[in-house]
Chain A
């Protein structure tokens, strides 16, 4: 459940997908010759862990790799452990690193032993959404009412929780502060589940959990979402609680919080300097995983947006997000590199 990464999803809408020069390379016949290690940059049970293990289960079911897969969790330091491990495994074609956009955002805010451009991008396979959640019996029916209450009251007494510090949740919280021009109190916790429970217990006033992190609480009548950080409403779903489904939740922009997009990609990397045909091989495997009904079912169930980015598109996303984040982090005084 731990959400180990940072997202500046404003960069999500890439204007044009750069065409990939991969197909020619992919035809050369490289194949893994020993078990492939899936390095998960989060602890067991986290969102990235579920992502990697779902990919593993689909690969096993359709026999998409000729060798077996070993999953190892290296989630220390918000995922830094996994990326450093990948960086040190230079040229090793039998290691895949699973992460989020923390691969390129973490080096901006913490002194770590890799640069975003070190690892070889393979694919991004899904994008996780964010919502503003309040307690189910909160007096604020809508996000607009909540912002109005913030304006009217003592903003410092309003607590928004999130997982970790200088990470996805806090970045979004700070962006919300900027969008509405009010500073409230941000409280960092260990992971999304814990933040969800703190909200259900009424110890914080709101959080920005991913839909999958709090849907259990919504169904159980503990918390409810008031707006979603997407350019348009999510596709309609069956009612979750009291006749309200995901499609009925307004976007945050509709509610006067002007952040049109914020999403966290689920990414796959290879160590530095692996041959191009190796990267192309794994990209093809990941595309096959992406095209299965199981992947569709997984993303729908966890309310992530299924969208596939190849290596080139990923590089473009990384460059764009890094530039945007750099500006924001500079402003917040977080920048260390």
Chain B
């Protein structure tokens, strides 16, 4: 109850005309940068950082976090409309969101995405509010073996339940891992797979690859299909937004499961991107509509979106209490904290109550603001799909190019994007699944670091992954999920033989 009291105090700090104005401004700006892929939340927040130097810390953090929420919501928009993920964490939203849009259900897809995202964020904030003390001490229990186990679990739960030919999936995964190793290796301090090219020092950017594979690849496929692109006939009315909103509670199982996955990944170091993949993978396995996944199933939108936002909000807690940035955006905000004169750490909750609880209270408000604002944009964005392809296609190319450029302002990235566009097209044609490649890129290097750190600690013994109940439990669960398809296949064969 102490926390609730603190929260009420937080609301008294957060609710002022200036703060609400900052929230609305931040959310709008965030939606804008989120909609432009590549520009993304980290860049948007970085651009705003100098503005905050002259603000008091509470206003500053409200502005930055509101921009972050706005960008997270905006990131789903292009995923659904054009198959271009605006944020790394909205990649999984493309799997079913884009097919829905192509079937003329863009309004439903966007509404479902935004509302489930709002739900996920809300659950995340409630957990932060109620369990702040517990979460911090829980996060402290994570050593490299636990980190590795968490990544392994996320990976296993997504990959094991994927469709497609197993060998093709393996090829896709291995390519993703190889791409993730490019650049400086922190464990050995050496350069890997850079071929002495300065452009490769920073590694292959995940976003550039994704923009190429999804955005450009999809465009090539569409052009091949038929040049006379039929604009998707949609009727636009606020009623459809409302109808989609009313349909959401039907997915309560998926909502609950995804929120749990999201919070788990937010508190442990998994992060929002891994959370959205894991949640999608689990939903595909356990949903009654699992067979429809990938063909425009609303639950395939609900699951990644809910988990993504639940993880994004839950990750704010370890950030403040321990100073671990859960995402690139959180790292920028932490830098801001230092410049404003605050030291992240357990004492922040005691010495800077106004700041911490003002921020938590503002998260409730700004997420409500964000949901209302993005829902208002749905008819506008859905209308884009009524434009003829001859206008939309060049627009997509422009958006992709600007996005790939803005990742690191490097011309090299544009070539990479084109190459991966071709790769994406080829993979689709030859039926290689793209998602495992993307996931392997996202968690590949972190998982590798954690694995090698564990090996340094244990002097090379695998026993370290079963050295205590926490890590042993996660690792065993991961193995079980990974082996599930094999076991179930064997069982089925035995049953048939009998």
**Is the beta-carbon distance between A187 and B456 smaller than 8 angstroms?**
yes
CA of A187 to CA of B457, assembled, Å: 7
- Give the interface residue-count category, chain A: 35 or more
**Is the beta-carbon distance between B324 and A165 smaller than 8 angstroms?**
no
A57: chain B residues at CB < 8 Å are 50, 53, 339
Judged by a CB distance under 8 angstroms, whether B312 is at the interface is no
A53: chain B residues at CB < 8 Å are 49-50, 335, 339
Distance between B107 CB and nearest chain A CB, rounded to angstroms: 36
Query: Smallest CB-CB separation from A76: which chain B residue?
Result: B202
Evaluate whether A113 and B347 lie within 8 angstroms (CB atoms) in the complex, with A165-B189, A166-B189, A301-B341 already known.
no
**Is the beta-carbon distance between B335 and A44 smaller than 8 angstroms?**
yes
B331: chain A residues at CB < 8 Å are 1, 43-46
Judged by a CB distance under 8 angstroms, whether A220 is at the interface is yes
Q: Which of A64-90 contact B (CB under 8 A)?
A: 71-78, 80-81, 84, 88
CA of A201 to CA of B329, assembled, Å: 24
A76: chain B residues at CB < 8 Å are 183-184, 201-203
Q: Which of B155-194 contact A (CB under 8 A)?
A: 183-191
Judged by a CB distance under 8 angstroms, whether A188 is at the interface is yes
Judged by a CB distance under 8 angstroms, whether B419 is at the interface is no
Judged by a CB distance under 8 angstroms, whether A272 is at the interface is no
Q: B348's contact among A156, A188, A216, A334, by CB below 8 Å, is which?
A: A216
The number of inter-chain residue pairs (CB within 8 angstroms) is: 162
**Is the beta-carbon distance between B184 and A156 smaller than 8 angstroms?**
no
CA of A88 to CA of B412, assembled, Å: 14
Judged by a CB distance under 8 angstroms, whether B140 is at the interface is yes
**Is the beta-carbon distance between A45 and B345 smaller than 8 angstroms?**
no
CA of A74 to CA of B42, assembled, Å: 14
**Is the beta-carbon distance between A193 and B322 smaller than 8 angstroms?**
yes
B347: chain A residues at CB < 8 Å are 216, 219-220
Query: Smallest CB-CB separation from A84: which chain B residue?
Result: B198
B144: chain A residues at CB < 8 Å are 187, 198, 203
**Is the beta-carbon distance between A78 and B184 smaller than 8 angstroms?**
yes
Distance between A88 CB and nearest chain B CB, rounded to angstroms: 7
Distance between A60 CB and nearest chain B CB, rounded to angstroms: 7
Distance between B48 CB and nearest chain A CB, rounded to angstroms: 12
Judged by a CB distance under 8 angstroms, whether A111 is at the interface is yes
Task: List 11 A-B pairs, Cβ < 8 Å.
Answer: A78-B186, A81-B201, A110-B184, A110-B190, A159-B457, A164-B189, A166-B188, A187-B144, A187-B453, A196-B322, A216-B348
Interface string of A167-199 (1 = CB under 8 A from B): 100100000000000000111111001101110
Q: Which of B432-454 contact A (CB under 8 A)?
A: 449, 453
**Is the beta-carbon distance between A220 and B191 smaller than 8 angstroms?**
no
B190: chain A residues at CB < 8 Å are 110
Judged by a CB distance under 8 angstroms, whether B196 is at the interface is yes
Q: A217's contact among B141, B346, B459, by CB below 8 Å, is which?
A: B346
Query: Smallest CB-CB separation from B140: which chain A residue?
Result: A201
**Is the beta-carbon distance between B201 and A188 smaller than 8 angstroms?**
no
Q: B50's contact among A60, A73, A113, A196, by CB below 8 Å, is which?
A: A60
Judged by a CB distance under 8 angstroms, whether A302 is at the interface is yes
Q: Which of A38-59 contact B (CB under 8 A)?
A: 43-46, 49-50, 53-54, 56-57
Query: Smallest CB-CB separation from B328: which chain A residue?
Result: A44
Judged by a CB distance under 8 angstroms, whether B129 is at the interface is no
